[in-house]
Each structure stands twice: as structure tokens, then as C-alpha cells.
Structure 1
Amino acid sequence: MSQHDHSDHENGNHNDEHDHDDHEGHSHHEHHKKMVQDFKWRFWWILGLTIPIMALSPMIQDFLGVDWRFAADKWILASLSTVVYFFGGWPFLTGLVDELKEKQPGMMTLIGLAISIAYLYSTAVVFGFEGDLLYWELSTLVGIMLLGHWIEMRSVMSASSALEELAELLPGQAHRVNEDGTTEEVPVDELKQGDQVLIKPGEKIPADGVVVDGKSSVNEAMLTGESKPVDKADGDEVIGGSVNEKGSITVEISKTGDDSFLSQVMNLVEEAQQSKSRTQDLANRAAFWLTIIAIAAGLITFGAWIFFTGQDFGFAMNRTVAVMVITCPHALGLAIPLVVSMSTSIAATNGFLIRDRAAFEQARNLDAVIFDKTGTLTEGIFTVTDILNFGDDRSEQEILKYAASLEKNSEHPLAKGILEKAEDTWDPDEFNSITGKGIEGKVNGHSVKVVSPGYIRENEMSFPEEDVEKLSSQGKTVVFVIIEEELTGAIALGDEIRKPSKNAIKALHDLGIECIMLTGDNQQTADYVAGELGIDQVFAEVLPDEKADKVKEVQEQGKLVAMTGDGVNDAPALAQADVGIAIGAGSDVAVETGDIVLVKNNPEDVTALIKLSKATYKKMVQNLWWASGYNIGAIPLAAGALYAWGVILSPAVGAILMSLSTVIVAINARFLKME
């Protein structure tokens, strides 16, 4: 087993003593999926029924200049439309009842009212009432509203997805060690405090605990965001869900269930998601006012024609229906979803996915963006940054080649970084580990050692300390190369800053947005990276369960905050932020918790999404004006305000005008583009 001892980079303690209640995230997730499927299923059925309804409608036939009428065609039309009204309109009718119960009329009330009036009016015409059949208007309105809600719901994020991803980090089984030393396979949920479990190389650690036997390096990147696996030996704590990379270890369980680190992260994610405020939907606000206008205009129209002009009931009812149909446009139901769909498509082609529309809309008003360092602003993997030659006649590339040749037998992440940098290697003749200090062996006929600073200090070897200290101050890890017992050189490895990071920070500054960095690294490393990038504020040495608190701290300054991160430890902070931006190549849970996912791991996309958010909101407002303003302007005509001059808008013409407003809104949405 090979281990480089880098004690300068210690991990924090991840204890958290808060208790949290159980939550039912899974059931909410299933409910959300069923609702999306329900709207989709109803939409396709209604689309199928709309075709014969359109073909049988006298108004459509007159428009096309055909005559497909036959005996009992009205009754077939009424029967098909009844299915559309009750089956397709059911979500809106139940929504109408719910909104009225809560005394908050909105989109559902408006749709429910319009389809009910169109259906009851048309059915009355079938039974002899004088007027036009508006069944085609009913079916197209129901179909378009179902499509709009289906598109809209697909963009809504389910909070439980993140919790499911977290739960999947834990293995299902564990090797429990019995008193006689034998092991048995048991389900993880049967483990209790004090049990000892054997964790083999490559396996996940089933619960929080303390190592009681064996040595290994454990990859905690998914949980702590720390890219370098951490060496573990007797007495060291391990976290459930982290991966044992090499060497078998026996762990005594110290925490299970709700007390575990992973459960606490899950609770933090859910709490932050539940407490996050949402902006009220623009379309619902417009629908609320249109509902008030529709009911008021309808009542005024009916009353005015009956009581003040002496017109008959049939004429007054026709005017009222025309007003109600005009007031509930197809366009309003699609004004927002069409723009959302368009912006989602544009975003995807530009490297980011929108998961939560409300949060995406908020991005246009951001005051601050908090970046996680490791894997977001930096690459998250160790690469060779410097090679020092201590006066030996060998070249830097030769020193690297000797080190890389020896590292071929090591699985350590530093070894991977050295191997990736080397152009070619020799096969080592001998290989041994120097416990806790490095590795040694024979390469190309020479004895070679790759060791830690601890080994050099113990053996009192002299080297240019100033040069090495300079590299260490930049947050880099330094290993030393000894050839034939002579200290030949040193290799520095660092978590390199992403090339687009500096451009991203500058672009955000140009938009007047403050840039903050959040990291578990020491202050010296954090300050170096922040200085290189021009970061405004740094939070260093932050424990995983403190990240969400740091986001709150910035929010309490009255700022609208975005958080960008990739690890499980970032998930609570992503959920707490007003806008959570997940790096796509990071852990699944960060992706599931994020409101927006950066697919290409490019920090510059943060600026792009803010610009798209501004453009999207602008287009939404334009569409709402087209959808609502068009209607409000047409209401007086539908009510018969110009009747004295021979200008009157029938329910049929009103329905056609509404279809035109839908076309205008659709075309306007197509003009959305990145600014």
C-alpha cells in the first residue's frame, strides 16, 4: 500500500448534532411524475378528439367552404365535446373549485369558467337556443391549456429527487464482523452503534464510524468536495457514503440513521428547499385580474343589454358569452410556457439546463454569485504544475520520468497526476511503500524514492526551502524525488484554476454582481486562488454542514444570491440559494438539487444564463401584454359597445381573434435569443 503523507491538508470534523424529522420526499416525487404524465395523457386524447370536432363544426366548415353536415351530426358533436369537457377539462374544473375555496381565483378559475360557458352555451344551442356552436373553441382551448400545463410542469423541479440521489450513495449491504472474527452480509439498515464492519477496496462505507483496524485512503469527494483521497488509519473517522479506495479496513459504527452525516445533509437539503421563497407566477397574476375583469364585464354586459336596452335574453347571452370567450385567451395559457420552452431549448444548446423556472427567472436580479472552489473554479484533479531541479545534471523531464515510472504501481491520486504529465516511463524493477511517507524502488537500474516533506525533514536533507515554500503557499502539494540516495528535485501538484474562471468573474463584475468563493481549503490556498481570479470575498475552512449557513449569511445582507457547486456537500447550499447552479459533471445529487445545471462545466455559463434570464423575462412580459392586452381591448367590442354603428363581435369571431392572438404569442416567443 502506497501513501503520500500530506498532513498539512487536514480534513475538518463533520459532526452535526441537530435532530431532524423524517420527510416523505419520495411520495412527493411520485405525485409530481404522475401529474406530468396525467397532463400528457389527457392532451393526446383531446388532440385526437379535436380533429373530428373541428370537422363537424358548422363554423369551421363554412370557413373551409365545405358542407359535411348530416343527420344527427350535432348530437355526435355534442357527445364528443362532452368527453372533452369532462375528461380534458377535469384538471381545470377541479382547479377552479380549489381556487375558489382558497379565495384566490387564478388561471384555473379563468379556464374553468371559459370552458364551462362555451360548453353550456353550445349545448343550449344544440337543444334549440339561437346562437353559434362553440364546441371547436372548447376543444382547442382545453387542448392548448393541457399542452401549456404539461410544458410548464415538466420545467418544475421536484425537491425529492435530490433526496433520492443522496439515499443512493449508501450501499445496501455491509460485511458485519462477528465476535468470533467471521463476517456476515447484513442490510445496512440493520447496523447499530458499536457494530464493526469490514470494508474492502472499492466498496462504499455503509455508515459513519471510526477505523479500528487497517489502513487505506478514502475518497470523500462526493461528500466533502475534497478532490484528494484522505489517508485513514486506527482512530480516524470515516463518513458513510464515501468510497474506500485501497486496503481493507474495519470500522466501528458510531452513527446511524438520522444522526449520520449523510442524513443531516439530506435534512439540510429538504429544509432549505421547503423554506425557499418562490416568485408568484406572472401568468397567474394576469389570470387573476382577467378573471375579475371577465366576471365583471360579463355581468355588466348581460345586465346592460337586458335592463337598459330592452334586448331579448338570447341577444344578451350571446354578448356575454362573446365577452367571456374573449377574456379567456388561448394565448395566456401559452404565453409563459412557450417562452419557457424556447429558453430551455436555447439554454441546452448553450450548455446549461433549466430545472426550476421560478429560480431561473430570479437570476436576472442576482446581486451575488457564490462559487465553490474545488471542481467549480478549479479543475478538481491534481496535475503537475512545477518541477524543481536541485542542481542535478538530470533534466526536469528526466526527474519526472523517474518519478512517474515508480508511481506506475501506485493508485494514489498524486501518482495519477504525475503519470499523466510524463510523456513516457520505464517499468520499475522493484517497488515498495514507505509507510506514511511515500514509495521506493528500482527504475532503469537506479534506486528511486518519491517521498513526502515529512520524510525529508526526518532524514534532515537540505533543499531550497524558499522555492518549495513559495509553491506550498500557492496551495500546491510538493513531493520529493531521491535518485541514488541524492535529493534530485521536487514535483509540485496543484488543483489548477479553470481557464474560463477568470473570464467568468470579470463578466459578472461587468454586470455589477459580487463574486464570492466558498471552500473547505485552508485560508492560504483560498486567498491565493481568490487573488488570481479577482474574487470579492472569501469563505475558507468551511465545513460541509456550514455551507448553507454562509449562503444565508449573504442573503441576510439583503442580497439575491446564486450558489454554484458540484459536490454533495454543496447540495444544502444549492438548495438554500435563491438560484442553485450545479456543475453537471459533479455528483448526481448536486445536479438534482440545482435549479440550473451547467453541462459543460464552464463557469462562464453563469453569465450566459443571467443574460438569458433577463431576455426570457422581457419576452414573457411582452407575451403577457399581447395575450392580455389584446383581450382587454377586444372586450368592449364583444360587449357590443359599437352596436349602434353596426359593429358587433359574435362569439365565433371572438374565438377566431383569440386563435390569432395565440399565433402572435407563438411567433413572438420564437424571437427569443441570447443577448
Structure 2
Amino acid sequence: MMTLIAVAITVAYVYSSAVVFGLEGMDFFWELVTLIVIMLLGHWIEMKSVMGASRALELLVQMMPSEAHLVQGDQIKDIKVDELKKEDIILIKANEKIPADGTVVDGESHLDESMLTGESKPVKKSKGDQVIGGSVNGSQSIKVKVSKTGKESYLNKVITLVEEAQKAKSKTQNLANVAARWLTFIAIGAGTITLFTWISLGKPLDFALERMVTVMVISCPHALGLAIPLVVAISTAVSAGKGLLIRNRTAFENARKITAMVFDKTGTLTEGKFGVSRYGSLSDDMEKKELLSFAASLEQQSEHPIAQGIVKAAKEAGLALKKVENFESLTAKGIQGKIEGKNLKVVSPGYLKENDINIPDQAGSDEAETIVYVLQENLLIGFIALSDQIREESPKAIETLREKGMKLYMATGTMRKPPRQSVKNSG
């Protein structure tokens, strides 16, 4: 396409200049300028599309912090992430991003890996567990031994994959280039034939040249050069606005032929956020909302992901949080405190089993939920179940796709748990 455009511009300019200096005929300066403007517009639109895709990569790059806390004996030194080496020990403070892939060597915390793996629930990491650069640390500090840096890291491999995909031409772009190549041969051939045909018919050279140039300029596919980048730009921009990152443009073009679709669950059909899915009171003396209010009041003292989900649910329900006294954390079991003179606990199922407290059927679940239990004076009075929440628009999207005759599937790592076994109640 560029060859044909160059030929058309060169011929038009040379011929028009010759007309200015005395050759009989009509110049093509206006046509020449129009052709150049349209082609530059096409290139500008294409570059804008490329820059938009580059910004998507910049967001991935920004997931990595610029500095790391290097542990050197009893000293901690802040260095650039680029200076990290394998086997270095780094300190990750609370709520900081992990600067490199590695292994936890000291401490315990919950990491948010949702932007990298799609897992909505913060993942518990302790000594010996692997961590991914770009994930976000929870409320506890940990020390990590670096195992991969630079191009070897997980995030950099993702970035490289996206870069290579964006550089690839789509099937339509390749087809347009093939068409332009043949059109180049045809235009040059047609222009040459036009020149010699008019000369053979006895027409003067300037008359024949004028028609040859006309044929070559008209044959230039400036619409093709504008249309393809425009379609690529619009489709890329609209897709990015909908949260769709295109890895393979040819596959994207073939999307119109899709008859079946496989959905990822976390962050796609669901919000990718860990929140309260249901809760209930098991006591006649306490209403559901009061139970949630008491639990959230206790949990606001904790930085645990479960605690944050419960507090958020209470605030969204407009519930007032109460003053807590004698707050205490029960290691790996839950928390306890006194509210309005009542001794309350929010504990895990393990705590109930250790204390032989029966779990009622309505408080159990076969679903992929995390359930905590509320105790008052060591008596079970309620439960709160947390899970990833379904997106508000997901049912409508599924319904629309089914109406179009598509077969729908869901790919998920969630496994159904066996029915919960009741534990003997000592009371």
C-alpha cells in the first residue's frame, strides 16, 4: 500500500510541477494534498490505537513497585527493584506491593492476588509459600527470599505476551496489504497502458501524461488505508472500555462465528470481591441485623479479609457500629470482646469443633463459602457466610447470550464440599 501511495504522490507531484513550469495540462496539487491528508489521518488514527494499547501495558507495569526493602543483617536498605538479585531477602510491609517473585521465609499474611490470578479471596501466605510480584500484602509484614527478577518474573512474562500479541497483524490487515500489493501492480500497469494507448492514438504527450496520472491517482486505495486503521482503533477502544484486552486480533475478528462460550467465574461472572453472601440469627433474642451489627463492631478491630467483608456489609446496610471493650484476638480461631455488657465472639468452625458445639443445618453450607459463627456467652447465636458476589449484570448477560443460541459453560476451580458433619453438643 505504501508503494502505491508513494508512486501516486511522486507521479502527481512531478507532473504538476512540470505543468507549473510550462508543460501543457492540468495540475493535481489539490488532489495530491487531499491524498496526503487522508493517508496521514489514517496513520494518526492507527498510532492512537497503538498508544491506547500501550497504556494498557503501562497499567500492568505500574503493578510493580519501584523500590524494595532489602534486608542486610540487622539493617534494612531501600533499593530500586531493578537492583534486586536472586536469593536477596526483602521486607514487605503491611499493604505494600510485592516487588518480585519469591518465597516467604519469615512471617504470615494474607495477599491480594486478584489482579494476577483472578482469585478474589486474599490468599494466606506463611513460611515456605510462593508469592508473586505485583500482588498486594495484607496487614502483616513478611520477609521474602527473591527467586525471580526482571524478565523471569510472572508479571513480566504476562507483559511480554501482551506486547507480542499487540504487534501481530490481524487477518483483515494482512488481506488489505495483499489487495494493495496487487492493486499497485494493476495501477502501474493501467497507467502505463493508458500512456502508450493515447500516444498510439496520436494524442500529444501532455494529453497522454495527464490521463496516466489521473488513472494512477484514482487507483490509490486511500479509503482502504483509512478504513482498516479506523476499524482497528474503534474496536480496540470499545473493547478496552468494556474491560476486554485483545490478545489475538484474528481471533477477535472471528468472534462473530462463536457458538459456545466458556466463562471464568471469579471477576467475570462475579465481582471478584470477598463479601457477605448470607447471615442469620439462631437466637430468638437477637434479630439478623442486630447480629450483623454486633459482629461488625467486633471485626472493625481486625485487619483480616473476613473482618473487612463483614464491616463493609454492615455499613452498606446502614447499621451503626457499637463500642467494643476488652477486645482480644484468638490466634487462628477468631476474636472476642464485650459489647453493651455482652461477651461476644466471632469464631471459625474449628473453634466450635474444639469446644463440642453443634453446628445447625441452616448454618452449614455445601457451597463455596467461608462461614464464621457468632457466640454470646459461649452459646451459638448466629452465623455469617462470605463468598464472592455475583455481578449485577451477569444474569442479564447470560440471558442475552442464550437468546442468541449460544452454548454457555463455566470454568472454575471451586469444588463442592461434602455435607458438613454435626459435632456433638456438650450442652
TM range (shorter): 0.7 to 0.9
Q: 2:105 aligns with which of 209, 212, 217?
A: 212
- Are residue 524 (structure 1) and residue 416 (structure 2) matched? yes
Q: 2:353 aligns with which of 453, 457, 461?
A: 457
Q: 2:180 aligns with which of 284, 287, 292?
A: 287
Q: Displacement of 1:264 after TM fit?
A: 4.0
Q: 2:339 aligns with which of 424, 439, 443?
A: 443
Structure-2 separation of matches of 1:269 and 1:350? 17
Q: Displacement of 1:429 after TM fit?
A: 1.4
Structure-1 separation of matches of 2:234 and 2:110? 47
Q: Displacement of 1:490 after TM fit?
A: 0.6
Q: After the TM superposition, which residues 38-187 of structure 1 pair with which residues of structure 2 at under 5 Å, given as runs?
A: 107-156=1-50, 164-179=58-73, 181-187=74-80
Look up the SS of the partner of 1:205 in the other structure: coil
Compared CA separation, residues 277 and 290, structure 1 to 2 (3 A): closer
Structure-2 separation of matches of 1:259 and 1:284? 36
User: What is the one-letter code of the residue matched to 1:394?
Assistant: M
Contact 2:104 2:127 (C-alpha < 8 Å) held by counterparts = yes
Contact 1:155 1:354 (C-alpha < 8 Å) held by counterparts = no
Q: Displacement of 1:388 after TM fit?
A: 2.7
Unaligned runs of 5+ in 1: 1-106, 526-675
Contact 1:299 1:320 (C-alpha < 8 Å) held by counterparts = yes
User: What is the one-letter code of the residue matched to 2:404?
Assistant: L
Contact 2:89 2:146 (C-alpha < 8 Å) held by counterparts = yes
Contact 1:145 1:330 (C-alpha < 8 Å) held by counterparts = yes
Q: Displacement of 1:409 after TM fit?
A: 1.1
* Higher relative contact order (CA closer than 8 Å, sequence separation 6+): 1
Look up the SS of the partner of 2:301 in the other structure: coil
Structure-2 separation of matches of 1:196 and 1:177? 5
Q: Displacement of 1:250 after TM fit?
A: 2.3
Cα deviation code 1:335-363 (max 9, x no counterpart): 44556667778x48996789799455443
2:362 corresponds in structure 1 to 467
Q: How many residues align?
A: 411
Q: Displacement of 1:167 after TM fit?
A: 3.9
User: What is the one-letter code of the residue matched to 1:372?
Assistant: D
Q: Displacement of 1:300 after TM fit?
A: 2.0
1:192 corresponds in structure 2 to 85
Structure-2 separation of matches of 1:504 and 1:133? 58
Contact 2:166 2:248 (C-alpha < 8 Å) held by counterparts = no
TM-score by length of 2: 0.85
- Are residue 499 (structure 1) and residue 392 (structure 2) matched? yes
2:425 corresponds in structure 1 to none
User: What is the one-letter code of the residue matched to 2:256?
Assistant: R
Greater strand share, 1 or 2? 2
Q: Displacement of 1:271 after TM fit?
A: 5.8
1:325 corresponds in structure 2 to 217
Structure-1 separation of matches of 2:221 and 2:100? 56
Compared CA separation, residues 156 and 357, structure 1 to 2 (3 A): farther
Percent identity, aligned pairs only, is: 53
1:241 corresponds in structure 2 to 134
Compared CA separation, residues 156 and 209, structure 1 to 2 (3 A): closer
Compared CA separation, residues 250 and 321, structure 1 to 2 (3 A): closer
Compared CA separation, residues 477 and 153, structure 1 to 2 (3 A): same
User: What is the one-letter code of the residue matched to 1:323?
Assistant: V
Structure-2 separation of matches of 1:354 and 1:209? 28
Compared CA separation, residues 241 and 128, structure 1 to 2 (3 A): same
Cα deviation code 1:296-317 (max 9, x no counterpart): 221222222222x222322222
Q: 2:258 aligns with which of 366, 378, 383?
A: 366
Structure-2 separation of matches of 1:318 and 1:484? 101
1:395 corresponds in structure 2 to 287
Contact 1:155 1:357 (C-alpha < 8 Å) held by counterparts = no
Q: After the TM superposition, which residues 204-283 of structure 1 pair with which residues of structure 2 at under 5 Å, given as runs?
A: 204-270=97-163, 278-281=170-173, 283=176
TM-score by length of 1: 0.55
Q: Displacement of 1:442 after TM fit?
A: 0.9
1:528 corresponds in structure 2 to none
Look up the SS of the partner of 2:105 in the other structure: strand
Structure-2 separation of matches of 1:302 and 1:332? 26
Q: After the TM superposition, which residues 595-606 of structure 1 pair with which residues of structure 2 at under 5 Å, given as runs?
A: none
Q: After the TM superposition, which residues 562-641 of structure 1 pair with which residues of structure 2 at under 5 Å, given as runs?
A: none
Compared CA separation, residues 146 and 277, structure 1 to 2 (3 A): closer
1:509 corresponds in structure 2 to 402
Look up the SS of the partner of 2:172 in the other structure: coil
Q: 2:268 aligns with which of 373, 376, 380?
A: 376
Which stretch has the larger CA shift, 143-152 or 167-176? 167-176
Q: 2:373 aligns with which of 452, 455, 480?
A: 480
Contact 1:478 1:490 (C-alpha < 8 Å) held by counterparts = yes
User: What is the one-letter code of the residue matched to 2:359?
Assistant: F
User: What is the one-letter code of the residue matched to 2:65?
Assistant: P
1:407 corresponds in structure 2 to 299
Q: 2:321 aligns with which of 425, 449, 455?
A: 425
Cα deviation code 1:199-255 (max 9, x no counterpart): 221222232333333332222222222122222333333222222221222223344
User: What is the one-letter code of the residue matched to 1:517?
Assistant: M
Q: Displacement of 1:498 after TM fit?
A: 1.3
User: What is the one-letter code of the residue matched to 1:412?
Assistant: H
Compared CA separation, residues 513 and 483, structure 1 to 2 (3 A): same
Structure-1 separation of matches of 2:107 and 2:245? 45
Compared CA separation, residues 388 and 173, structure 1 to 2 (3 A): same
